[in-house]
Amino acid sequence: MISEEQNIDSIISGCKAGNRKAQEQLYRSYYRAMMNLCLRYTKTETDALEVLNTGFYKVFKNIHRYNAAKATLYTWMRTVIINSCLDFIKAKQSNMETGELARAESVHVPPAVIAKMSA
């Protein structure tokens, strides 16, 4: 992670300006910590990487909302990444529930089997 206060400010300014080098430096600096966080929420490394990249996209897109007076950069980014993890989990659960209902609708039970059933 980035340790120097002045370096953090220059990276944040670069990210706000859309500087790809500053974004890459921020990504590389926080990759390990945020990847470990994603691995706690997801089951596979592939899912964790997907969530991590989505989270960093949100960080870069919303870096102008970051306020150093309210939280450190690490804390703010951690919050964004956790919310990305939760969004991923919700979407995955929703897809699973929808898929189960769709499969249940397509099950065919022959009338003879139903006739043999009794209360």
SS3 sequence of the chain = CCCCHHHHHHHHHHHHCCCHHHHHHHHHHHHHHHHHHHHHHCCCHHHHHHHHHHHHHHHHHCHHHCCCCCCCHHHHHHHHHHHHHHHHHHHHHHHHHHHHHHHHHCCCCCHHHHHHCCC
Return mean pLDDT, the chain: 87
Using pLDDT thresholds of 50, 70 and 90, give the confidence band for residue 97.
low
pLDDT of the residue at 26: 96
| Mean pLDDT on 96-108 | 65
What pLDDT is recorded for position 102? 62
The domains located in the chain, with CATH, are 5-116 (1.10.1740.10)
- Mean pLDDT check: name the lowest of 5-19, 37-51, 57-71, 78-92: 5-19
Q: What is the pLDDT of residue 56?
A: 97
